[in-house]
Amino acid sequence: MGRERVPLPVRLVMGILWTTDGDLRSAMRQTEELFGPVAKKSPSVPFDPYTPYYGEEMGGELKRCYWSFVEVVPQGVLPEIKLATNRIETDMASEGRRRVNLDPGLVTLDALVLATTKPYYHRTYLGKGIYADLTLVYRNGSFEALPWTYPDYREQWVRDFFLQVRSELKRDRRGGGERT
């Protein structure tokens, strides 16, 4: 019989879509108030090549970047984090249209898991209307995409960003009893 145990904390990460730099700065300020300082930022890239899904609502030339946060978080708080980022999106919206899209997730030593409100066959319900989307898995020294992984998360530079975040988490855990 297995014994229950609380998993070690993991690294909070965020994918961000935006059109104006002022909106990006505002989103960063608000997320840092809730989750602590951003530790690492990816480069910003045009998002338009990946999907037109957000263009109608958010308009303009969308940009994408990723952040990781300094503080680790318990794995069980992902629903609350997603609800908090949804509130930021709603508060920043103008005329019913989002100006930022915040996609929180967790980097563990095994995977990148994103939070979503949309159910699908590969997503597990966590509670409070939030699902876990297993987006990338760590195998053979790198993060690998899955058949349902979003196109932007498949990019090598994006997977490398999350691999760096995983390495920092692993380094921070050395000596803490976690498997490596």
Tens of pLDDT, residue by residue over 148-161, are 999 999 999 999 99
Q: Compute φ and ψ for 144, nearest 5 degrees.
A: -115, 140
pTM: 0.92
Tens of pLDDT, residue by residue over 100-132, are 999 999 999 999 999 999 999 999 999 999 999
pLDDT level of residue 49 (50, 70, 90 thresholds): low
Is residue 132 within 8 A of residue 123, CB to CB? The reply is yes
Alpha-carbon separation of residue 137 from 32, 50, 123, 133, 142 (angstroms) = 27, 21, 14, 11, 8
